[in-house]
C-alpha cells in the first residue's frame, strides 16, 4: 500500500504492513527493556548508527516506533520521535537544539505549561520574546541576528487565537529559522503544518490523536523542510554518522529522548495507536458539534461572548477557513453578570467539569479559578481572561443531548 491512500485507510493498515507475527493486525506491545544480539557486531553497528536496530527501550522500542511511523504518515513528514507527554516533546524541542543566548520568538498565546517551561528556559540563559503571533509584523519586529526558532500553536487555548501560520512559515524559511508548530489543538486531520513550511511539528498525543483520555503521550515530527546541514548547533559526532536530512531529528532522539529520558511506554503507545484509528471520525463529529454549540451559545441572552474560530465574528475566521479542514473542538465563552459561572457549571449533567481537552466526552472548566489561577488577577486582565470565562472541549456526544444540557443549565 502506498502513501496515496486516504488518511484513515493509511492509519488502519499501518501496523499490518510491518508484518507482525501470526498475521496480527496490531503491532504487539513489546515490553522488553533491552535487546540481545547473537553477534556482538550487530550491537556495535546499532550504537554507531550503521544499522537501524534496538538497543535499550529508553531511546527506541518497536511498539513506540510503529506509533511514530503513524504520526509521520498523518503529518506527511519525514520522521517522528515520541515522548511520554506533550510537555516532554516541547521541552526536548528546545533543549536538544538550542544553546545559551540563542533567541526564540514565541507566541504570547501559549498553553499554560508551555509558557511556564519557556520561563524556566529564560532562567538558564535562552532568550525568549513573547509576541502576539496572530500578526506576522510582531514576529518581524522581534527578530534579532541570534534568533534561531519561532514557536507557535495553531489555535490557542483558551482564547482560540489563530496564529498567522502561513506568513510566519514564509518568514522563517527566508530567515532560516526553525519553525515549530504545536498542532495539538487542530491535529493532523484538521491541519498539516508542513503546508505552511513548518520545520518541526509538536503533537500532544494525549489529546485528539489518542483521543480517549486514557494515555499520555507527545511527539515531534520533522517535516524534512529545514536545512539541518547548515544549522550550527548540530553535534559534530552526528554529522559524521547521520545523513544531513536526519540530523535534526537524530539530535532530538539522542539529546531529548535518550538523555532527557521522557520515554513513552509501549502500553501507552498501543492505546494511542488504537485511539488514532478513529481520529478523523471523532473530529468530524467534534467539529460539527462545536460549530452548532458555538452558534447556540452566541445567540443566548445569558452568554456575553463566544470565542470559536468557526464563527464569522472571530478575528482570524478567514485564516482558519483557508487553512483548516474544520474549526476544532475547543471554544471559550463568557457569561453575563446575571448568571454565576460556577453555579452554571454545576447544573451541567452531560458536560463534565474537568481540566483535560480533546477527549471523546465534553469537558468544561472555569478558566480564571483553575488553569489561570496562578497568574493572578492583573495578568489575567492583561491577557483578556474574564472571571466568567469557561473553556469547553467539545466531545462526540449526540448534539441533541449537548444542546439540552446547555439549555437546562442557562437560566
Ligand atoms: C495539552 C497540551 C500540551 C501538553 O501535552 P501533555 O500531553 O498534557 O503534556 C501541549 N500543547 C498543547 C497545545 C496542549 O493542549
- Span 62-104, pLDDT tens digits: 999 999 999 999 999 999 999 999 999 999 999 999 999 999 9
235 CA distance to ligand 1 centroid (A)?
28
Kindly state the average pLDDT of the residues 380-394: 91
- Looking at the CA of residue 358, tell me the nearest atom of ligand 1: 15
Q: Which residues line ligand 1 (CB under 6 A)?
A: 85-87, 111, 114, 153, 157, 182, 184-185, 204, 206-207, 216, 218
Smallest CA-to-CA distance from 184 within 164, 156, 212 is with 156
372 CA distance to ligand 1 centroid (A)?
15
On the question of pLDDT at 17 being above 70, the answer is: yes
Beta-sheet strands, E only, within 190-307: 200-204, 218-222, 303-307
Share of the chain above pLDDT 70, in %: 99
86 CA distance to ligand 1 centroid (A)?
5
On the question of pLDDT at 405 being above 90, the answer is: yes
How far, CA to CA in Å, does 186 sit from each of 153, 215, 231? 9, 19, 29
pTM for the whole structure:
0.96
34 CA distance to ligand 1 centroid (A)?
29
The pLDDT of residue 383 is: 79
289 CA distance to ligand 1 centroid (A)?
22
The pLDDT of residue 1 is: 45
Kindly state the average pLDDT of the residues 265-276: 98
Choosing from 82, 109, 113 the residue with most ligand 1 atoms within 8 A of its CB, the one to mutate for a pocket test is 113
Write the pLDDT tens digit of every residue in 196-232: 999 999 999 999 999 999 999 999 999 999 999 999 9
HSE-up (13 A, CA, CB side) for residue 305: 14
205 CA distance to ligand 1 centroid (A)?
8
The pLDDT of residue 51 is: 87
Write the pLDDT tens digit of every residue in 321-355: 999 999 999 999 999 999 999 999 999 999 999 99
Domain 279-409 has CATH 3.40.50.2300: no
Residue nearest to atom 7 of ligand 1 (CA): 86
Only one residue has cell 537544539, namely 97
On the question of pLDDT at 2 being above 70, the answer is: no
Name 68's Cβ contacts closer than 8 Å, sequence gap at least 6: 79, 80, 81, 82, 219
Name 214's Cβ contacts closer than 8 Å, sequence gap at least 6: 271, 275
d(CA 200, CA 218): 13
- Looking at the CA of residue 205, tell me the nearest atom of ligand 1: 7
The pLDDT of residue 3 is: 55
How far, CA to CA in Å, does 331 sit from each of 158, 254, 295, 343? 7, 37, 11, 19
Kindly state the average pLDDT of the residues 256-281: 98
The pLDDT of residue 80 is: 98
Domain boundaries along the sequence of the chain: 7-276, 279-409
pLDDT tier for residue 239 given thresholds of 50, 70 and 90: very high
On the question of pLDDT at 4 being above 90, the answer is: no
Choosing from 201, 207, 211 the residue with most ligand 1 atoms within 8 A of its CB, the one to mutate for a pocket test is 207
Fold classification of 7-276 is 3.40.640
Amino acid at each position: 500500500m502506498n502513501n496515496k491512500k486516504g488518511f484513515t485507510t493509511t492509519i488502519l493498515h499501518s501496523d499490518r504492513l510491518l508484518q507482525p507475527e501470526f498475521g496480527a493486525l496490531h503491532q504487539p506491545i513489546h515490553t522488553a527493556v533491552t535487546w540481545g544480539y547473537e553477534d556482538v557486531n550487530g550491537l556495535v553497528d546499532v550504537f554507531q548508527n550503521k544499522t537501524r536496530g534496538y538497543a535499550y527501550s529508553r531511546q527506541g522500542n518497536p511498539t513506540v516506533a510503529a506509533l511514530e511511523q503513524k504520526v509521520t504518515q498523518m503529518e506527511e513528514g519525514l520522521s517522528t520521535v515520541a515522548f511520554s507527554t506533550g510537555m516532554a516533546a516541547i521541552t526536548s524541542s528546545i533543549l536538544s537544539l538550542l544553546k545559551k543566548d540563542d533567541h526564540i520568538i514565541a507566541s504570547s498565546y501559549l498553553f499554560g505549561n508551555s509558557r511556564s517551561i519557556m520561563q524556566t528556559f529564560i532562567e538558564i540563559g535562552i532568550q525568549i520574546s513573547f509576541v502576539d503571533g496572530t500578526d506576522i509584523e510582531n514576529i518581524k519586529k522581534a527578530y534579532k541576528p541570534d534568533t534561531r526558532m519561532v514557536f507557535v500553536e495553531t489555535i490557542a487555548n483558551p482564547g482560540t487565537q489563530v496564529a498567522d501560520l502561513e506568513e510566519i512559515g514564509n518568514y522563517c524559511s527566508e530567515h532560516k529559522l526553525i519553525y515549530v508548530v504545536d498542532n495539538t489543538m487542530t491535529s493532523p486531520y484538521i491541519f498539516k503544518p508542513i503546508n505552511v513550511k513548518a520545520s518541526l511539528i509538536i503533537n500532544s498525543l494525549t489529546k485528539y490523536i489518542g483521543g480517549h483520555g486514557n494515555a499520555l503521550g507527545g511527539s515531534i515530527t520533522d517535516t524534512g523542510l529545514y536545512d539541518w546541514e547548515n544549522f550550527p548547533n548540530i553535534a559534530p559526532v552526528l554529522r559524521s554518522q547521520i545523513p544531513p536530512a536526519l540530523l535534526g531529528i537524530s539530535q532530538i532522539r539522542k539529546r531529548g529522548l535518550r538523555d532527557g529520558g521522557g520515554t513513552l511506554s509501549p502500553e501507552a503507545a498501543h492505546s494511542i495507536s488504537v485511539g488514532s484509528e478513529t481520529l478523523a471520525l471523532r473530529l468530524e463529529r467534534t467539529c460539527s458539534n462545536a460549530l452548532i454549540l458555538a452558534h447556540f451559545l452566541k445567540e443566548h441572552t445569558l452568554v456575553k461572548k463566544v470565542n470559536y474560530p468557526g464563527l464569522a465574528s472571530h478575528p482570524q475566521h478567514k485564516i482558519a477557513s483557508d487553512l483548516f479542514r474544520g474549526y476544532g473542538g475547543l471554544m471559550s465563552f463568557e457569561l453575563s453578570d446575571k448568571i454565576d459561572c460556577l453555579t452554571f457549571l454545576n447544573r451541567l449533567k452531560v458536560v463534565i467539569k474537568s481540566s483535560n481537552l480533546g477527549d471523546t466526552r465534553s469537558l468544561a472548566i472555569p478558566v480564571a479559578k483553575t488553569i489561570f489561577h496562578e497568574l493572578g488577577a492583573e495578568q489575567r486582565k492583561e491577557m483578556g481572561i474574564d472571571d466568567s470565562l469557561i473553556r469547553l472541549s467539545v466531545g462526540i456526544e449526540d448534539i441533541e443531548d449537548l444542546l439540552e444540557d446547555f439549555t437546562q443549565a442557562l437560566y
